[in-house]
Amino acid sequence: MKIATIILSTMLLTGCGIPSISFYDDNESLLAVEVRSSVDLLDCSTTQAPQVKTIQTSVNKFLFYSEAKGSSDVEEMITPMKDTVDSFYDRVKEKDSVVFCNIKKKLMVQQSETIADAVMSRF
């Protein structure tokens, strides 16, 4: 009877929306820094498409690693940035706008800093 109660309690707690928080991972930290670095290197005064493609590659690599590891909390943080970078890349392929690039860069810097801080603050 005790075993049934423990199993039932565990199943109920798991379904109650308790967030799954992953533990510190050196590789995820390194990938978060890689994303921050690629965003920081974006130069809006030159051709932007290849630079944004580099950012997109870094974000995708980070997302794929986190998915494979099962870090759903990290995936939740990366997905909005992936959407930002993907939409930026789609627009940049058509035309380069320095003002638009600067706005997107500011947003991506903020997103990448937040993600890196959260990933590297885990224990």
pLDDT tens digits, residue range 29-70? 999 999 999 999 999 998 889 999 999 999 999 999 999 999
- Whole-number Å distance between alpha carbons of 35 and 120: 13
Q: Write out pLDDT tens, residues 85-106.
A: 999 999 988 777 899 999 999 9
pLDDT digits (tens, 9 = 90+) for 110-121: 999 999 998 888
Q: For CA atoms 69, 74, 80, 84, give the dihedral sign.
A: negative
Query: How many residues appear in the chain?
Result: 123
Token representation of residue 43: 């130069």
- Please determine, for residue 108, whether its predicted confidence score (pLDDT) is greater than 90: yes
- Global pTM reads 0.79
